[in-house]
A and B are shown apart, each in its own frame.
Chain A
Amino acid sequence: MHDNETDSNSTKRVEIVCFMVEEQDFCIEISHVLEIRGWTSTTTLPHAPDFILGMMNLRGTVLPVVDLSLRLGFGKTEPGKRHVIIIAQIDEKVVGFLVDAVSDIITVDEAEMQAAPDVSSARTQAFIRGVYSVNDALVRAIDVRAVLPQGARLEA
Chain B
Amino acid sequence: MNDLNEMFFQECDDLLEGLSSGLNELENGSNDEEIVNSMFRAVHSIKGGAGAFGLDQLIEFSHAFENVLDDVRAVRLAADENVVALLFTASDHLSDLVDAARNEDQLPPEQGASILSDLKHMSGSLDDDSHAHDGRGEEDPPAFEPTTLTVDGGLPPLDDMLSPTAPTPLTITFKALPQLYTNGHDPTLLFRSLQELGSLTINADLSSISLLRDAPWSAPTLSWTIDILPDDSVDEAVIREVFEFVEGLCELEIQSHASAPPIETLPPLEEHTQVPQSGAPSLGPDPRETKETGVKPASGSKKQPAARSSTIRVDLQRVDQLINLVGELVIAEAMLRQSMDEMPHSANGSVDEAMSQLKQLSGAIQESVMAIRAQPVRGLFQRMSRIVRETSKEAGKSARLVTIGDATEVDKTVTERLVEPLTHMIRNAIDHGLETPDQRLAANKDKRGTVTLEAAHRSGRVVITLSDDGGGIDRAKVRQIAEDKGLVRPDDDLADADIDNLLFRAGFSTANEVSNLSGRGVGMDVVRNEIQSLGGRVSMQSEPGKGTSVTISLPLTLAVLEGMVVRVADQTLIVPTLSLREMLQPGQASVHTLCDGDRVLALNDELVPIINLGAALGYRTDPVCLGQQSLLLIEDDSGRRSALAVDAIAEQREVVIKGLEQSYQSISGIAAATILGNGRIALIIDTDQVIALPGRMGAAEPPAPGATGDVVNA
Contact = CB atoms under 8 A, between A and B. Distances in A.
A132 B675 CA distance: 40
A57 B674 CA distance: 9
A62 B658 contact: yes
Contacts of B682: 43
Dominant SS among interface residues on chain A:
loop
A153 to B, nearest CB: 9
Contact of B675 (A52, A62, A154): A62
Given A57-B675, A59-B328, A60-B324, A47 B660 contact: no
B673 interface: yes
A64 B681 contact: no
A43 B680 contact: yes
Interface string A62-100: 111000000000000000000000000000111100000
A63 B325 contact: no
B670 interface: yes
A45 B683 contact: yes
B668 interface: yes
A101 interface: no
Given A47-B704, A62-B675, A151 B662 contact: no
A3 to B, nearest CB: 22
Contacts of B324: 60-61
A55 B664 contact: yes
Contact of A47 (B327, B659, B669, B675): B669
B617 A46 contact: yes
A103 interface: no
B676 to A, nearest CB: 9
B618 interface: yes
B325 A60 contact: yes
A41 B705 CA distance: 23
B667 interface: yes
A57 B571 CA distance: 15
Nearest to B572: A43
A59 B321 CA distance: 12
B663 interface: yes
B327 to A, nearest CB: 6
Contact of B328 (A43, A60, A63, A92): A60
Nearest to B327: A60
A55 B681 contact: yes
Given A43-B571, A47-B706, A57 B669 contact: no
A44 B680 contact: no
A130 interface: no
Interface residues of B, number: 33
Contacts of A48: 667
A40 B659 CA distance: 20
A149 B665 contact: yes
Nearest to B661: A152
Most buried by A among B325, B619, B659, B664: B664
Contact of A55 (B325, B572, B660, B705): B660
Nearest to A49: B705
A156 interface: yes
B673 A55 contact: yes
B507 interface: no
Nearest to A52: B664
Interface in B546-588: 571-572
A62 B617 CA distance: 19
Interface in A19-54: 40-48, 52, 54
B439 interface: no
A59 to B, nearest CB: 6
B615 to A, nearest CB: 10
B675 to A, nearest CB: 5
A56 interface: yes
Contacts of A46: 617-619, 667, 669-670, 683, 704, 706
Interface in B11-44: none
A57 B683 contact: no
B544 interface: no
Nearest to B664: A64
B666 A152 contact: yes
Given A43-B673, A47-B617, A62 B706 contact: no
Interface string B641-680: 0000000000000000011101111111110010100011
Given A46-B618, A47-B667, A47-B704, A57 B662 contact: no
A117 to B, nearest CB: 33
Nearest to A59: B328
Given A60-B324, A62-B681, A154-B704, A47 B668 contact: yes
A47 B704 CA distance: 6
A57 B327 contact: no
B707 interface: yes
B44 to A, nearest CB: 44
Given A41-B680, A43-B683, A45-B683, A62 B660 contact: yes
Nearest to B669: A46
Contacts of A152: 665-666
A96 to B, nearest CB: 10
Contacts of B591: none
A47 B664 CA distance: 13
B705 A45 contact: no
A92 B707 CA distance: 30
B214 to A, nearest CB: 62
B705 A63 contact: no
25 contacts: A43-B681, A44-B571, A45-B664, A45-B670, A46-B683, A47-B668, A47-B705, A47-B706, A48-B667, A52-B664, A55-B673, A55-B683, A57-B675, A60-B331, A61-B658, A61-B663, A62-B659, A62-B673, A62-B675, A62-B681, A63-B663, A63-B664, A93-B664, A149-B665, A154-B704
Shortest 9 CB-CB distances between A and B: which pairs? A46-B617, A43-B681, A60-B328, A62-B658, A47-B704, A64-B664, A63-B663, A62-B673, A46-B618
Given A55-B673, A64-B663, A152-B665, 17 more contacts: A41-B680, A43-B681, A45-B664, A45-B667, A46-B617, A46-B619, A46-B670, A46-B704, A55-B664, A55-B681, A60-B324, A60-B325, A62-B660, A92-B662, A93-B663, A94-B663, A95-B663
